[in-house]
Amino acid sequence: MPAETGFPRADVENDFLRARRRQVLARLAHRLRREPDDVNLILPFDEVVAALGMQGERSLGLQTIQLETVVGTVDSRRDFDRRFRPTSSRVRARWENLALAQRRGESIPPIDVYRIGDMHFVQDGHHRVSIALATGQKTIDAYVTEVLTAISADGVHNRGDLLVKSYERLFRARVPLPPQAYAKISFSDPWSFAELGGAVEAWGFRCMQDERAFMDRAEVARRWFAEEYRPVVRMLRAADLIGSRTEAEAYQRVARERYRLIRTHEWSDEVIERLRREVK
């Protein structure tokens, strides 16, 4: 940290100006590196919850949390960036008054946060987080409320990742499977979840027509995974058709090509062999 002047008011003013300069330089570096627009944007709590699907919450009480895990906000305003650096001088007066109170040893209450996975979202205490980070602190005391979601927050780093999670959540609603099955189905393109969901529903419709019996979503999903997805993936591995893709991406590709080239919804060794020749 830079040397202090010995005058608390001057020191907090310098701290704020330093935090503002860092925010401006980070924004400039982001533009020069041509990074996505959302890299430095603070994560909005409402959008994250909407993408993951809220199932409940529980109070965890007072805890000491790592400041590096505080990445989002419940507030709709954008007074701070992803690292809680001030994005304008609008918050300067309150920021400096709080920082000055801390320097004078006044009691500062813990912040309030929501926890989703390993991430924390500030409900109350944005300025306190900003000051703590600007002055080199690593932890902060917080009242924590854990939010339980339908799908995991793993892999959420910026707002762009929420689109993938949103499509994945909708896929899980359409195709209810156990967690170990979902672990085998992943895509880099979020639209593929929507495409696969439609394909599973179409498979179930054809199956019900053939058997003249109704199946609910859970039964369709269970049978599709056991009778269609897993056997086909095994055949694709044996035919060396997985490559660098995920197994779900490989399945999606050859299933699409199967009907386009052969006009069939059936699988067999002959179909796989023809597809192996065609797609390679």
Q: What is the pLDDT of residue 36?
A: 52
Is-contact 264 258, C-beta < 8 A? yes
Report how far residue 95's alpha carbon sits from residue 5's, in angstroms, rounded to the nearest whole number. 19
In CATH, the number for domain 8-149 is 3.90.1530.10
Q: Are 197 and 175 in contact (CB under 8 A)?
A: yes
pLDDT of residue 268: 66
| 3-state secondary structure at position 164 | helix
Q: Residue 73 contacts by C-beta under 8 Å, 6 or more apart in sequence?
A: 42, 43, 44, 45, 80, 121, 122, 126
Per-residue DSSP letter, 228: I
E strands present in 137-268: 139-149
Residue 31 has a pLDDT of: 64
Contacts of 176 (CB under 8 A, 6+ apart): 217, 218, 221
Across the chain, which has 280 residues, the per-10-residue mean pLDDT values are: 68 86 74 58 91 95 96 87 88 92 89 97 96 93 96 87 90 94 90 92 90 94 94 86 89 76 60 64
Cα separation, 258 vs 239, whole angstroms: 15
Domain boundaries, the chain: 8-149, 175-279
